Structure formats: structure tokens, C-alpha cells
């Protein structure tokens, strides 16, 4: 066991789907996985292992923000033999042409976070997804009815920012959406020699203030979940 995960070694699959909301992890386990059993309940961060189309998969919540996903990703990679983590989360759309309920495959993750400074790099590290996972997700996305975008997102440390124009600056650089975890996940995976990808559903539009409900975010973004599951078993 680690300080944050009570599973025994062997209880967690090599590939883990990781939504921010632990209740979304529970929803995925109950609706998509066969023979699912719970391996974690510490701090309410639910985790399950089961089978999808005959292949063993796990799903576990990450909480909100880089510090939270950074802890869980590190422990999963280092202590539980996890090889790949696929974040299945939500994002705020900021680019023109990105609409409510669209899906974003985050090829790269810009960030305003100081997380990467821990590595002592004399320069700027660019957090990117594993190419094989991006390729598998793009292929799986062809079967969905949702509009799918592949490109850059920005991972922010703040949800209620003080600068009203901050996201407009990222928009000018072609960034598709804003979220709070991907850059930390990608950096952790890179440092550990592992694989990571974020697949995101646009839950709100930053500049028009359109938004989905909390219940819809928890339970109805099944196109994203389907893409992530297919990516996990075909990577």
C-alpha cells in the first residue's frame, strides 16, 4: 500500500483510466467493466479493476488539479506496475469551432503551473502525450458521433483566475481548451518512462458561459468514455 492507495500489488491493471471525479470512475466501472471489484476507497478516491472486451483494465479518480493527479499517477507508475494512464475528464472550450460536448484529444498540454520546475531543467519542457495513445484514440474516435479535435490544451493551476484576459492569450496560440491535470500527468509519465493521454469532453465554453450540469458531467459523457476504453485495449 501507498499513503493514498490501499490496493495490493497485482490488483491494478497495467492501463488505468483516470477521471477527476471518483463518482465518474464508479460509473465507468459499473456500466462498462465486467467483473469489476473496488481496490481503493482511501479519501473517497474510488478505484476499480475489471475487464473490457476480455481485457483487464482499471479506473480510478484523480481529484482536481496537478498536485492531486501528480500524487496518484506517481504512485500508480512507481509502485503498482501501471504502464499507461488515460485521463478522461472535462475541459472548458476556448478555441473558435470548439463546441459544448465536443471531444478534445490532448496531443500536448501547455501550462501556467510551476510543477515542472522540480526537475531542474534549464529550459522549457513541453509536456506531450504518448504518440501511440494519440494514434489509437484518433482511430477510435472515428466511430463516434461527437465532433473530435486533436491538439493543444492548457493546464491551469487556477479555476477562478484574477486575470479576465488570461485565456484569450492562450486562445491566440491555437489552444483548444483549458483543464487542470494533463500537463502534470504528462510530465510525471515522461519522468517515469511511462505513457499518458488526456481525452476530454468540453463541459463548458469559457467565453460564452454555456455549460453542462454536474450530473451530465458525471454520467453522460459516454462517447469520451468509449474512446478511452477502445484506446486502452488497442494501444
Active site residues per annotation: 204
- Nearest to 177, CA basis, from 145, 204, 212, 211: 204
- Using an 8 Å Cβ cutoff, are 97 and 187 in contact? no
One DSSP character per residue, 105-174 reads EEEEEEE--SGGGGG--SS----B--HHHHHHHHHHHTT-SS-EEEEEEEE-S-SS-S-TTHHHHHHHTT
73, containing H or E segment: helix 66-79
- Give the CA-trace dihedral at 195, 98, 67, 117, to 10 degrees: 80
Amino acid at each position: 500500500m501507498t499513503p493514498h492507495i490501499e490496493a495490493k500489488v497485482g490488483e491494478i491493471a497495467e492501463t488505468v483510466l483516470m477521471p477527476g471525479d471518483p463518482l465518474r470512475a464508479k460509473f465507468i466501472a459499473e456500466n462498462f467493466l465486467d467483473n469489476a471489484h473496488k481496490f481503493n476507497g482511501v479519501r473517497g478516491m474510488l478505484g476499480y479493476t475489471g475487464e473490457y472486451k476480455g481485457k483487464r483494465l482499471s479506473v480510478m479518480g484523480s481529484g482536481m488539479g496537478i498536485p492531486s493527479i501528480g500524487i496518484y499517477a506517481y504512485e500508480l507508475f512507481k509502485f503498482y506496475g501501471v504502464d499507461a494512464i488515460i485521463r478522461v475528464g472535462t475541459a472548458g472550450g476556448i478555441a473558435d469551432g470548439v463546441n459544448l460536448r465536443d471531444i478534445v484529444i490532448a496531443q500536448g498540454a501547455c501550462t501556467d503551473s510551476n510543477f515542472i520546475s522540480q526537475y531542474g531543467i534549464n529550459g522549457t519542457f513541453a509536456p506531450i502525450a504518448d504518440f501511440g495513445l494519440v494514434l489509437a484514440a484518433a482511430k477510435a474516435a472515428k466511430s463516434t458521433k461527437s465532433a473530435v479535435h486533436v491538439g493543444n490544451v492548457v493546464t491551469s493551476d487556477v479555476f477562478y483566475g484574477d486575470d479576465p484576459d488570461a485565456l484569450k492569450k492562450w486562445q491566440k496560440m491555437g489552444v483548444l481548451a483549458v483543464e487542470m491535470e494533463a500537463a502534470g500527468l504528462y510530465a510525471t509519465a515522461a519522468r517515469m518512462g511511462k505513457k499518458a493521454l488526456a481525452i476530454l469532453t468540453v463541459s463548458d465554453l469559457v467565453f460564452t458561459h454555456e455549460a453542462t450540469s454536474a450530473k451530465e458531467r458525471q454520467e453522460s459523457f459516454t462517447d469520451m468514455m468509449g474512446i478511452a476504453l477502445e484506446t486502452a485495449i488497442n494501444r
